[in-house]
């Protein structure tokens, strides 16, 4: 087929093609409008190690913290942390359901942990993110000292509390 043949087909069926494109746009727009709104909030914590005050001890503490942060990312995705959040906020969800709404990541080569929580309201997203950091800190304490209330030599320190998400939510990805 040559370009002339394509143009002849287009001229003969342009109205049908236009109707299909408009229909697809309308259906897509309707689908996006009907999706539930999802708000996202972030909270940040840093892994710290108390090893002393001289520069050698501080350097060693930073190395320990950088090594442990990988473990704490995995700990942050655990059902134990999710259950602590459910108990604290009195949520009506399973740990698996709540865990699907939260992600824990670490920026490359830092001892920081970033918790990102999705929820149907801005307040709930903020509350879940902050409670998740507190629950992770308690689990780190329990791991390091066997007591969730007692801070060990390596601990999790919240550095940025979650703010209310903006008024522009995104549609659900689910």
Q: How sure is the predictor about 171, in pLDDT bands with cuts at 50, 70 and 90? A: low
Instruction: List pLDDT tens digits, range 101-142.
Output: 999 998 888 888 999 999 999 999 999 999 999 999 999 899
Residue numbers of the domain that contains 20: 1-34
Percentage of residues of the chain with pLDDT beyond 90: 47
Asked if residue 25 and residue 41 are part of one domain, the reply reads: no
CA distance linking residue 103 with residue 136, whole number of Å: 12
Asked if residue 55 and residue 18 are part of one domain, the reply reads: no
Q: What are 105's strand-pairing partners?
A: 114
pTM of the model: 0.75
Strand 102-105 relative to strand 112-119, pairing: antiparallel
The number of distinct structural domains making up the chain is: 2
Q: What are 47's strand-pairing partners?
A: 156
Q: Name the nearest CA neighbour of 154 among 76, 36, 33, 65.
A: 65
Asked if residue 135 and residue 70 are part of one domain, the reply reads: yes
Cα 78 to Cα 11, 32, 37, 147, 154, distances in angstroms: 60, 32, 26, 18, 19
Asked if residue 14 and residue 96 are part of one domain, the reply reads: no
């Amino acid at each position: 087929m040559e370009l002339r043949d394509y143009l002849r087909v287009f001229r003969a069926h342009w109205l049908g093609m236009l109707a299909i494109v408009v229909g697809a746009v309308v259906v897509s727009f309707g689908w996006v409008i009907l999706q539930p709104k999802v708000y996202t909030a972030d909270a940040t914590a840093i892994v710290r190690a108390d090893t002393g005050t001289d520069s050698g001890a501080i350097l060693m503490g930073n190395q320990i913290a950088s090594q442990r942060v990988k473990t704490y990312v995995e700990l942050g995705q655990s059902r134990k942390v999710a259950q602590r959040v459910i108990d604290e906020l009195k949520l009506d969800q399973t740990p698996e359901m709540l865990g699907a709404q939260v992600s824990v990541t670490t920026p490359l080569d830092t001892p920081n942990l970033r918790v990102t929580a999705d929820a149907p309201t801005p307040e709930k997203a903020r509350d879940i993110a902050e409670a998740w950091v507190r629950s992770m800190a308690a689990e780190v304490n329990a791991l390091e000292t066997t007591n969730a209330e007692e801070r060990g030599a390596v601990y999790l320190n919240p550095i940025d509390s979650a703010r209310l998400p903006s008024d522009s939510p995104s549609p659900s990805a689910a």
